[in-house]
């Protein structure tokens, strides 16, 4: 079954015909909210709003383990993770939709593995390719079908937040090869791989990252781009399911 994790600007899916909501108890505590079960374009999907349905949970406080565990628990096998990001490389202008294919994790202090605790074995998963090729391919094809332009590939840099970055931090990330920057891509992707979910991100660029524009980064400007762009993101999702 297909799971959709909605990020900022996507706390609900307009065309989702909601059947029911379920609170899932997890060994890791509470999820960001109940899982929403329903149909998108006639296809069964499970949706969760990463920051809570009222957008109250900041990126460093999201219980990624609970969310991923819960999706897996209810039978989700394939996940698309929607996220608003800042654009770093020239191609990543505001409004662009990117399907990243690599990840750099700059976050810290977030519970980022299922493999810990006394009874758990030490496991080192292969994370060379952090995202599921199958879901990426489906999203690419869906974007083509829906006639929505997307950029295939790019490196997602996950920062700690909730503050935005300094100009020097963005310069460093750029030297490291980062194309877009967001605050939620890790450890979400890590946990998905650990538990065996086929997971890929769908990123909407909502602002030029720090130092990439002469304008200050304001929430108003971000909201405007997000509002306009999420319409195209929804179109891709509808055309992509079932993943
Ligand atoms: N930096 C980090 N995360 C973000 C940004 C940004 O500029 N824009 C949206 N999410």
CA of 86 from ligand 1 middle (Å) equals 4
CA of 162 from ligand 1 middle (Å) equals 9
pLDDT by residue (tens digit) across 135-145?
Answer: 999 999 999 99
CA of 101 from ligand 1 middle (Å) equals 18
**Ligand 1: residue whose CA is nearest its atom 6:** 86
- Cβ neighbors of 97 (< 8 A, separation 6 or more) are 143, 148, 149, 150, 151, 202, 203, 204, 205, 229, 232, 233, 236
Pocket test for ligand 1, best of 87, 181, 210, 211 (most atoms within 8 A of CB): 181
For residue 21, what pLDDT band results from cuts at 50, 70 and 90?
Answer: very high
Q: Is the pLDDT of residue 69 over 90?
A: yes
**Ligand 1: residue whose CA is nearest its atom 9:** 85
CA of 60 from ligand 1 middle (Å) equals 13
What's the complex ipTM?
A: 0.99
How much is the average pLDDT of 78-107? 98
Separate counts of helices (H) and strands (E) for the chain: 5, 11
pLDDT at 117: 78
Q: Is the pLDDT of residue 130 over 80?
A: yes
Q: Which residues line ligand 1 (CB under 6 A)?
A: 84-86, 159, 164-165, 181-183, 206-207, 209
CA of 183 from ligand 1 middle (Å) equals 7
Q: Which is more confident, 242 or 65? A: 65
Other Cβ atoms closer than 10 A to 37: 17
> What's the Cα-to-Cα distance from 243 to each of 18, 101, 107, rounded to whole Å?
19, 17, 28
Q: Across all residues in the chain, what is the average pLDDT?
A: 95
Q: Is the pLDDT of residue 41 over 80?
A: yes
pLDDT by residue (tens digit) across 28-39?
Answer: 999 999 999 999
CA distance 239 to 40: 9
Q: Is the pLDDT of residue 119 over 80?
A: no
Q: Please, what is the Cα angle at 151 between 146 and 153, to 5 degrees? A: 125
pLDDT at 12: 83
For residue 81, what pLDDT band results from cuts at 50, 70 and 90?
Answer: very high
């Amino acid at each position: 079954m297909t799971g959709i994790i909605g990020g900022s600007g996507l706390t609900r899916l307009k065309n989702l015909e909601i059947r029911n909501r379920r609170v899932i108890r997890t060994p890791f505590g509470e999820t960001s909210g109940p899982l929403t079960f329903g149909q998108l374009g006639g296809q069964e999907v499970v949706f969760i709003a990463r920051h809570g349905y009222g957008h109250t949970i900041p990126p460093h406080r999201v219980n990624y383990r609970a969310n991923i565990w819960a999706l897996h628990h209810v039978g989700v096998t394939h996940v698309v993770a929607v996220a608003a990001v800042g654009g770093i490389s020239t191609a990543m202008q505001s409004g662009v939709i990117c399907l990243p294919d690599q990840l750099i994790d700059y976050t810290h202090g977030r519970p980022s593995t299922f493999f810990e605790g006394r009874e758990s074995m030490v496991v080192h998963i292969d994370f060379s390719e952090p995202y599921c090729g199958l879901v990426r391919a489906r999203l690419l094809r869906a974007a083509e079908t829906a006639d929505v332009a997307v950029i295939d590939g790019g490196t997602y840099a996950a920062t700690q937040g909730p503050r935005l970055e300094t100009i020097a931090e963005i310069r460093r990330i750029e030297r490291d090869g980062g194309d877009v920057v967001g605050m939620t891509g890790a450890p979400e992707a890590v946990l998905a791989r650990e538990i065996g979910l086929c997971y890929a991100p769908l990123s909407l660029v909502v602002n030029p990252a720090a130092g990439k524009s002469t304008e200050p980064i304001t929430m108003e400007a971000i909201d405007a781009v997000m509002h306009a762009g999420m319409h195209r993101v929804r179109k891709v999702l509808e055309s992509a399911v079932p993943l």
